[in-house]
Structures are given as structure tokens and as C-alpha cells.
Structure 1
Amino acid sequence: MIKIIGLGLWNEKSMSIEAMEEANDCDVLYAEFYTSRLIGLRSKEELVKVLGKDIKFLKREEVEVSQKFILDRAKKEKVGFLVAGDALTATTHIDLVIEAKKRGIEVKIIHGSSIYTAAAGLAGLQIYKFGRSCSIPYPQPGFKVESPFEVIAGNLKQGLHTLVFLDIQPDKLMTANEAMQILLEIGKKKKSRILDNKEIVVVARAGSDEAVVKYGKIKDLIEMNFGEPMHIIIVPGKLHFKEKEYLEFCR
């Protein structure tokens, strides 16, 4: 059996009782924190201590390379695969489930709190009004991805909100300020001013006691210090009057 276990948003205390019990029931535990991270986790040892079991922490490339080995073990043992956030929001985790089912391995999913719903809730935005989400990567030399801007523009045309994920690298996490600068530069290159005076939402450290939610124009927010990561951006579409009322408390 393989269990995909979502740990929630912030630290070792974010996991549900069910997640803890299911992890304790496993013979072996693996964890990956490259698709998302428990930023409030002071050290990997804290998670090991709470669960009372050794955990093999996998790097990004190791998940794909070790997939066969992990599934071979799941044929004979109860294997737990720990992830930050919810269990199946990353394509990598879906792939693991698909391959397990192909091999006739029993799969159990233990859900955790997700940034998809947490960010929307913190911003007072109605979840059914969100369109396609997007991610902003760090620009590479001579190359800058423009698709996030295009996704946002497409959603705005339909009056839909956009959840914008920020790049996660082994040695750095993109800030909302960096992301806003990238979006403005793409807009300038495309000769589009749709975001120049657009009011957006920045959510920082969702799931923690130090969560921050700020609403305002990019030109104002880009100068703010939102503190430690992780950050995420929401570009609102057409706002319901209740959404407007809530967001006024986030200025």
C-alpha cells in the first residue's frame, strides 16, 4: 500500500490527527518538499520527532528516479509519501498514484489543508469565481516566460480571479515584490497596461499565526515588505459586493 499524506500549510502542527495516525501506521516514510514547503518547519528533525519515525527526504530529481523503488516497496509494505499542502495538487503526486494503480498497489489519500482554498478564504474571495491558475518562474538569461501574464489577462476578460504561484528554488523563494516586478516588465514588453493600476492581493505565510493579507495597486504593494515567504498573489476579476467589502479590511 502507498499512502499520499498531505501535511497542511505551515509546520508539523498543521497536519491533521488522521495524517499523523496514518503516517505512524506506515512501515517506511518518504517526503518531498520541492513542489511546496512547510516554511514554518524549523528543521526536518522536528517532523521526524513528531511522527516518531525515520523519514527519507527526497530531492526533486529523486522522486522520479526513486519512483520504481518506492512502488516496489509498496507492494510488500505500507509506504507513506508525505507532501506539504494537500495530497494531490501536484502532477508528480498524481503520477505516483497512476503508476501505483497500474501495478495493482492499493492507494490511500489523506488530504491536508491547501493554499488554493486558504488564500482565497483569507482574501474573502468566492472560490467558484477563480479561473485558471499560473506560476511565475525566475527569468533565465535571455528568456522570460510570458504565459502567466497571458493567463491573468484571459481570466480578467472573463471576470475571473487568478491564483498566481511564485517560484520555488532550492536556494531561494520568490517574493511577491519580485513577482510583481516581473509582471510589470512583461506588460511593458507586450505594451499592455492591464495591470498598471490593477488592485491585487498578496497573501504571505498562509496557515501561520503571522499570515498577512494586503490589497492594493501593484505600484503601492511593490514597495511593501511582506516579511518571510511563502508568498502568493491573487489578481481579482469582477468583484461581488461582499468581496469588495471584505477586501477593504485588507488595505
Structure 2
Amino acid sequence: GSNQNRTPTPLVNPSPPPTPSDFYPPMPGEFLLIGLGLAHPSDISVRALKHLRTSCGLSALPGAPDEGTLKPNAKVYLECYTSIFPHFSIDEVSKELGVPVLEADRTIVEQQPEDLFFTPVLEDDATVALLIVGDPFSATTHSDLTSRAAELGVPMTVYHNASIMNAVGATGLQLYRFGQTVSIPFFNDKWRPHSFATKIRANVDADLHTMCLLDIKVKEQTDENLLRGRAIFEPPRFMSIATAARQLLESLRVLGKGEVGYDEQTTVVAVARIGSTDQLIASMSLAAAAGFDAGTPLHTLLLCGSLHVMEEEAVSRIRLSPEEEKACLERGERAGDVGTSDAENTEEEDEM
């Protein structure tokens, strides 16, 4: 009875609550690598947004009575090729965050980071931020970027966010039961690689699911424009669930089930616009997926290994009806093999 009113002794003495200066220490120059999340520029964390804006000389959040003045050497880039917000322009991202945002394509990120990102930080005490859709470390490109920054001694802060790599837990498939992730590139008349399919076989042998990341083409040039040095770009293209499934089925026909580990009846889960208000998650056979319309991008395709009882229940709840699968099968059969003329989800150039 005498112990009932005793205050428990903490195992570790509690630290004082962090102050704003702990979160945003003043830095003479810094490189910020900021994940934006999956669906909307406002998915950026409050902490990341405050650090970004205060480092640029602005108020911590947009809309303050005194917005502050943007530092002349502060630069904010949006990386626009490993993943994108298909329905938000650069200007709309800039408006949402309250800072001017520049586009960073593959050439800038992979070939010019020292000139545009690191040198301004080291020599001009500038704040340079690179915004990334998803999480900064979901693409190996950004791991390489941080290694190069570390080698040069560039002060750097990273802010994480949701990515497709963990958001697929919303399907009911357990994250720890995924094997190596596979990227599926667009086929064309001259290039139809099947190496991704043999990687799926390794996952099947280990009784693991496979996440297939589907190709996106942004600021691509025709061979003629590339050779002539003309800055003319093709409209953006985003691989659909149906195209990915048809390419997987082609790999099955070319290599055989023994090499790829799956067949037409393998259960797959189609994921579209994950994290948005109109996200779509549906399961079906791979053959049915070849005729499935998942709507606007971005899409991801999951190939299921054997299912735990809880996974089986979750996948069954999102399964297409027999009538829907039959209709998808018929559409897939009519579509045939993948070619260069296949229609894909596209956005107008000015939407990038």
C-alpha cells in the first residue's frame, strides 16, 4: 500500500525539450537533401520546411507577417528524373513551399553537383537544397551524391520522408517479405532486355515478393535531336501497370517459367498514386494486369510470393471480381506485345 503513491524512477534522466535552434542550427553554408513524400509538395515535414526556409533567410513557415528576404546565394532545386510529382509543375511546388525552385535533371545531379551544389556551399557559404520526391535514399543516385559531398567536407543535413519502398505496406503485404527490388525499363523495337525477369526468379526461389519499379521518361531526346545538339525533348512517359505486365509476360514467353519463376496466373498487386486521395490498390492475375487500367501515374507493380494467412486475407479483399478479371484478360489479349507505339500516360511538357 505504501508504494502506490511513489513516483516511478526513470531509467534515463529525461533531456530538456529541444529548442528551435537545436533543429535549425545556424550554418554559414549547408547542403540540404530533403524528401518530399509521395503525393503532394505539402507532404514535406514541418521540420524540413522550417529548416529550408530559415536557411534561405525566410520566415520558418509561409504566410508570416514578416516573410524575411531570400538570401541571394540560396538555391533550391527539385530533382526531376528518379521520381516526380506528375500533376504538379515546378511553379506549383515553389508556391506550396514559399521558395523559388529550380529544376535539376539527370545532367545536373549526376554530372554537375560539384559546380552547382557543393562549391557554392564551400566557397560562398550558400544554402543549397535538393528536393526529392519520396525519400532521399530510395535511389542509389542520391547515395552517391552524399558520398561525394562527404569526401569534399560539405556540411549536409538529410530529411527523410515516405517512399514507395515502405508505402506498399498499405497493400497488406508484409514489408520484410520483399526481396530485391526490380526496375522495368520501357521496351522498344531495338532494345528488349529481360534481365529483370531473372532477378524475380531469385526472389521466387527465396519465397519473397518482388516490387517492380516502372520506368519514367522525362526530358528524353530522340537520337536525331541528340546528335544535332538540339534541346528538343519528347513528352514525358510513365510506364503503366498494363505495359509492365505485358513486358513481364513477354519475358516469360522468351525465357520460360523455369528462368523467371512466375507465370500468367501469378498473383500481382497493382498500386497507383500511392499516398494520394485517389490512390488505387488492386490484386489480380498477371495475365489480367496486362489489360488493367490503373488510371493516371505513377504506378508500381508487385509480384506476390507465397502469402502468409494475413497477407492472403488482405490480398483477397482487394481482388478484382471474376467479371472484372475476365474483362481485363480480354483487353490484354487484344493489346498484344509491347511496341514503340504503345500509348502511355503522358503529361504536357509545361507540367514538368
SS in 2 for 1:88: helix
Determine what percentage of the aligned residue pairs are the same residue.
31
Highest Rg: 1 or 2? 2
Structure 2, gaps ≥5 residues long: 1-29, 57-73, 219-235, 320-352
Contact 1:23–1:51 (8 Å) recurs in 2: no
Query: Hey, what's the Cα distance between the residues in 2 that align with 1:242 and 1:224?
Result: 25
> Bigger CA drift: 211-220 or 186-195?
186-195
Q: CA RMSD in A?
A: 1.3
SS in 2 for 1:215: strand
Counterpart in 1 of 2:102?
56
Counterpart in 2 of 1:89?
138
> Could you tell me how far 1:197 is from its partner in structure 2?
1.1
Counterpart in 2 of 1:16?
45
Counterpart in 2 of 1:237?
305
TM-score normalised to structure 2 length: 0.68
* 1:160 partnered with 2:208: yes
Counterpart in 2 of 1:112?
161
Q: What does 1:1-251 correspond to in 2, within 5 Å? A: 1-24=30-53, 25-26=55-56, 27-41=74-88, 43-69=89-115, 70-75=117-122, 76-119=125-168, 121-170=169-218, 171-192=236-257, 194-251=262-319
TM-score normalised to structure 1 length: 0.95
> Could you tell me how far 1:140 is from its partner in structure 2?
3.4
Contact 2:244–2:290 (8 Å) recurs in 1: no
> Could you tell me how far 1:151 is from its partner in structure 2?
1.2
Query: Hey, what's the Cα distance between the residues in 2 that align with 1:64 and 1:200?
Result: 34
Counterpart in 1 of 2:222?
none
- Displacement over 4 Å in runs of 4+: none
Query: Hey, what's the Cα distance between the residues in 2 that align with 1:85 and 1:38?
Result: 10
Letter in 2 for 1:51: L
SS in 1 for 2:212: strand
Structure 1, gaps ≥5 residues long: none
Letter in 2 for 1:50: E
> Could you tell me how far 1:228 is from its partner in structure 2?
0.4
Query: Hey, what's the Cα distance between the residues in 2 that align with 1:89 and 1:74?
Result: 24
Higher percent of residues as strand: 1
Query: Hey, what's the Cα distance between the residues in 2 that align with 1:230 and 1:195?
Result: 25
Contact 1:29–1:56 (8 Å) recurs in 2: yes
